[in-house]
Structure 1
Amino acid sequence: MIRQFGPETGLLLIDVQKGVNVFDHWGGGSTGRRNNPEAEDRMRALLNAWRAGDLPVIFTRHDSREAASPLKLHLPTGAMIDGFEAQDGEIIIEKDVNSAFVGTDLELRLRQHGITRLVVAGFFTNFCVETSVRMAGNMGYDTYLAHDACATCNRIGPDGTDYDPQVLHDISVANMHGEFCTALETGTLLGLVGADAPALERVQGNE
């Protein structure tokens, strides 16, 4: 059962950087587009709730190895989206691959802070979010995905098919839910912050 979120529950916000909205890079040139325009508002609601509850907050910042990527920390597009600047005491993880755990000290920082449960949101659902969620689940963290606080862009397949971003998002969530995490709506997760939070069923496990 999922019970109220306490200090063992960290909010992990993945790559909430201005460059995620450079759609012509991510989505395949002129066809570039994104799903879920409400994702940032839902992430802000989660962030505000975690801060109000004095719960741990973790941000990742992506500093891409790819020459053409807008997610480079020395570029203006590498900056955090307005309203997602870290505050004193919050954890910042800089990474250069999809997973928040590879080549970083994230696991060590989580252990130091006694964090055993993660609520994950951010960009992109099928890239850095999914890779990080898969690893978190495999590493034994009690992992929850705020699926309506994530978003992705369309992708062009090897045969030229232009895959709709909502379809990619939905399939990615379906891949994660029940195997690597429990996917819940933001409103449900917000309801778990507080002393009178109801118990909900946890749906996740590994084959």
Structure 2
Amino acid sequence: MTKTALLVIDMQMDMAFRIAEGQPHTGPDVPGRIAELLQLFRETGRPVLHVHHSEPEPGSPFHPDMPGAAPMPCALPQFHEPVFRKTTSSAFPSTDLEAHLRANGIDRLVICGAVAAFCVNSTTRSASDLGFAAIVVEDAVLGFGLPDRAGGMLPPETVLAVTLSALDLDFARVLPTARIAEALQPA
């Protein structure tokens, strides 16, 4: 039988600061969707795992002493929920996340958080490579625009669409929050 955990990636205050500064982004409802997912998993007794980016360099927005490293209010870990502090884009190489999943019999992840083209993307691909099934929650993933190679900017909607499309082709199922409860039901 499949054991599924919710994996909340990098929902830290630096993301809220970027949005408050006016950075174009997708998913104004992402915090609310993540709160819904947390409620669903907590109420049904399923595991919830948090990943926070952490940088050792003083002054980095993700240095543990900086306000940007704190979790956003929508994604505050409860006392019994593990928090994995990563220094890499993927949550796997710089943490013991894989060992934790295997030790607890978790073989599927529902993935949400930030940022779509970076840490969500690399963590999902790593999970797939390691043999874990994954569902990426399309309306619970925060995306920002990217500079393109020609000197322009790729809009956040384009970056998110391309990222989710690539993940859905080979690495994960991509579903909206409204379909997660159904996806958690035994086949």
TM-based fold match above 0.5: yes
Please tell me whether residue 59 in structure 1 is matched to residue 60 in structure 2.
Answer: no
> Structure 2 CA distance, aligned partners of 1:19 and 1:107?
26
Q: Among the aligned pairs, what percent are the same residue?
A: 28
> What TM-score, normalized to structure 1?
0.83
Once the two structures are superposed, the pairs formed by residues 109-120 of structure 1 within 5 Å of their partners are 109-120=100-111
Whole-Å Cα distance in 1 between the matches of residues 57 and 134 of structure 2? 29
Moved over 6 A (4+): none
Distance 1:95 1:72 in 2: 11
Instruction: Tell me the equivalent position of 1:157.
Output: 148
CA RMSD in angstroms, aligned pairs only: 2.0
CA separation of 1:183/1:85 partners in 2, compared to 1, >3 Å: closer, same or farther? same
| Higher RCO, Cα 8 Å, sep 6+ | 1
Partner of 1:18: 13
TM-score normalised by L of structure 2: 0.91
Give the Cα separation in 1 of the matches to 2:22 and 2:38: 31
Q: Could you say what secondary structure the match of 2:166 adopts?
A: helix
Q: Distance in 1 between matches of 2:106 and 2:62?
A: 27
| Structure 2 counterpart of 1:127 | 118
Query: CA offset at residue 68 of structure 1?
Result: 5.8
CA distance change for structure 1 residues 41 and 89 in 2, over 3 Å: closer, same or farther? same
In structure 1, list runs of 5 or more residues that go unmatched.
25-29, 200-207
Residue pairs, 1:191-206, within 5 angstroms: 191-193=182-184, 197=185, 199=187
Aligned residues between the structures: 186
The one-letter code matched in structure 2 to 1:175 is: A
- State the secondary structure of the residue aligned to 1:13: strand
Which amino acid is 2:181 matched to?
Answer: L
Cα drift, residue 65 of structure 1: 5.4
